[in-house]
Amino acid sequence: MADKCRGAVSMTPVVLVADDADGTGMHVIHHDIKKTLGGKLEYAKTAEQGDAKWFYHPANIVSANANLIPGAGHDDDKFTDDSATVAASDDIRFIFIKHLGHDGADPQVASGANDKVFFTLDGGDPNTQPDAIELEAGESIVLKFKSVSGVAVDQLKANKNGANANVAVQVAAMIDDGA
């Protein structure tokens, strides 16, 4: 046994069958795919080449183009075991990100309808890159990267758009300390 991130992903392809005369329209499963698809997405510390450690931030603030995982100099810049500070050059092995739907100041106040969070995996500003991955309020994603020469902390950038100055995201990750 070893520390591990146990992720799961599923996707349901829904097609609208339009209403006809007195019939009400209905949603059905895509007739080629025929089911909900899904699978796991896991990272075990035993696969690590160096020293994988946990990072967790329950409500990290995204306000402008910056590293999603805060590095040295921030209030929340340490691994959860307090053993070290996350370095910009450390490699991320596995990450979970969730758009919490508020600005971090008051969890009871929902963020605006167009407050989206974008992020990139190669250091580009997410608000200008066409390959930026998007999360709306309440949405989440899990990603796993290479166990050697993967995505460094300073390559995983986050940015937002919308009316609010800030959007809070929940982040849990397994990071190679010293990669």
Partner 1 sequence: MADAMRGACSMTPVVTNVGIGNSADVDVLHDDIKATLGGKMTVEATAKYFDTVTEINNDGPKWYYCPDLKVTATSTNFYDFTGVSASPANNNVAGATADYYSNVDQFTNTIHDTSDSVYMFYAENTGLDDTGAATTNILGVSTAGGSVGGSTIMLEPGESVLLKFSWRALMTNLATMDPGTLHLDCCSSVGAAPAAPDHVLAKVVAFMEDGYADN
Residues that bind partner 1 (CB under 8 A): 1-16, 25-27, 30, 32-33, 37-42, 47, 54, 56, 80, 96, 98-99, 116, 118, 121-122, 127, 130-136, 138-152, 155, 161, 170, 172
**What token pair was written down for 96?**
């979970």
Of 41 and 66, nearer to partner 1 (C-beta) is 41
Among the listed residues 84, 76, 123, the one whose alpha carbon sits nearest the alpha carbon of residue 104: 76
Q: Which is nearer to partner 1, 102 or 116 (CB)?
A: 116
Match 């167009």 to its residue by tokens: 114
State the nearest-atom distance from the C-beta of 95 to partner 1, in Å. Answer: 9
What secondary structure letter does DSSP report for 20? B
CB of 17 to partner 1, least distance (A): 9
* Torsion angles phi and psi, residue 83, rounded to 5: -80, -25
Could you give the CA distance from residue 33 to residue 12 in angstroms, rounded to a whole number? Answer: 9
Task: Lay out the sheet containing 116-120: strands in order across.
Answer: 66-67, 157-161, 116-120, 133-135
Q: Which is nearer to partner 1, 83 or 140 (CB)?
A: 140
Q: Give yes or no for a contact between 168 and 137, defined as CB atoms under 8 angstroms apart.
A: no
Select 88 or 148, whichever has its Cβ closest to partner 1.
148
Q: CB of 15: closest distance to partner 1 in angstroms?
A: 5
Shortest distance in whole angstroms from residue 14 CB to partner 1: 4
Closer residue to partner 1 (CB): 103 or 155:
155
**Torsion 84-89-95-100 (CA) sign:** positive
Distance in Å, CB of 92 to partner 1, minimum: 10
Compute the least distance from the CB of residue 48 to partner 1, in Å.
12
Question: Which lies closer to partner 1 via its Cβ, residue 61 or residue 137?
Answer: 137
Strand (E) or helix (H) holding 99: strand 91-99
